[in-house]
């Protein structure tokens, strides 16, 4: 029975990830975007719309934008949680962890990222109505270059180092903040989620460089965040990624 429960939960977990990616793909197709995020004729017409026009435009309302970002968080961030959840499972054997605690960690982590989805949806609306980005969430060249340089520079900061240390070694966090049962797992999940948001917010902000519905950006950002959490290479990819982002920002500003 425990094996069946474990298998069912993991299947549901990966099923949710696949469903989230499928929903993002469908939304991109509905907006007439290709996998890179380039608009077709209908998508370009949407991009050029004024958000203050007297017509219903989902991408100019908080509710649909928040839902889009929440689904995006599930697609991009849940895969990065696999090492953390498997670490907790090891503590179910060596300590007094429970399957309800495992669920609590998962829920707490996702709650924090959904809260971040609400915040970044609000930022997108502010930028849209301020005339900085278009309806598809694409920033102008100057802002794209600034974001690339800023996120690249963040890779070298102490905040990134500390937060990445927690994300990269969840066992240390669990041992220092161990709580039992579902409430304990939820509390630890909230803490881990907070560190993860501080560690990875920049990759989310880069969505404005090529458009927040770019499946290419989503895939690359997800891979980078997964690589950063891998035990053997996690620490080695942070600074090279920062250098690459800064170089891309400078190149974009020049050309």
pLDDT, tens digit (0-9, with 9 covering 90-100), for 133-181:
999 889 999 999 999 999 999 999 999 999 999 988 899 999 899 988 9
At 196 the pLDDT is 95
- Supply the pLDDT for residue 1: 61
Q: Which residue has the higher pLDDT, 46 or 206?
A: 206
Compute the C-alpha angle 242/248/254, nearest 5°. 135
CA distance 69 to 73: 6
Q: Report pLDDT digits (tens) over 94-124.
A: 778 789 999 999 999 999 999 999 999 999 9
Return the beta strands (E) in 124-181 as ranges. none
Q: Kindly tell me if the per-residue pLDDT of 3 is higher than 80.
A: no
State the Cα–Cα distance between residues 54 and 40, nearest whole angstrom.
Answer: 23
**Domain extent listing, the chain:** 2-42+57-254
């Amino acid at each position: 029975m425990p094996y069946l429960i474990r298998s069912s939960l993991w299947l549901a977990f990966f099923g949710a990830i696949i469903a989230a990616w499928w929903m993002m793909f469908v939304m991109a197709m509905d907006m007439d975007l290709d996998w890179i995020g380039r608009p077709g004729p209908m998508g370009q017409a949407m991009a050029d719309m004024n958000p203050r026009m007297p017509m219903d435009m989902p991408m100019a309302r908080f509710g649909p934008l928040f839902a889009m970002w929440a689904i995006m968080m599930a697609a991009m961030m849940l895969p990065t949680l696999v090492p953390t959840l498997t670490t907790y499972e090891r503590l179910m054997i060596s300590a007094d962890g429970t399957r309800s605690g495992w669920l609590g960690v998962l829920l707490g982590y996702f709650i924090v990222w959904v809260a971040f989805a609400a915040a970044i949806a609000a930022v997108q609306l502010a930028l849209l109505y301020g005339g900085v980005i278009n309806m598809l969430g694409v920033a102008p060249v100057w802002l794209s270059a600034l974001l690339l340089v800023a996120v690249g520079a963040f890779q070298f900061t102490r905040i990134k180092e500390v937060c990445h240390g927690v994300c990269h070694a969840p066992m240390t966090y669990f041992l220092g903040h161990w709580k039992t049962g579902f409430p304990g797992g939820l509390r630890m999940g909230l803490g881990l989620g907070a560190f993860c948001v501080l560690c990875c917010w920049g990759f989310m902000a880069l969505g404005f460089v090529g458009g927040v519905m770019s499946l290419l950006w989503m895939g690359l950002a997800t891979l980078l965040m997964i690589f950063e959490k891998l035990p053997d290479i996690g620490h080695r990819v942070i600074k090279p990624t920062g250098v690459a982002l800064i170089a891309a920002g400078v190149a974009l500003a020049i050309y």
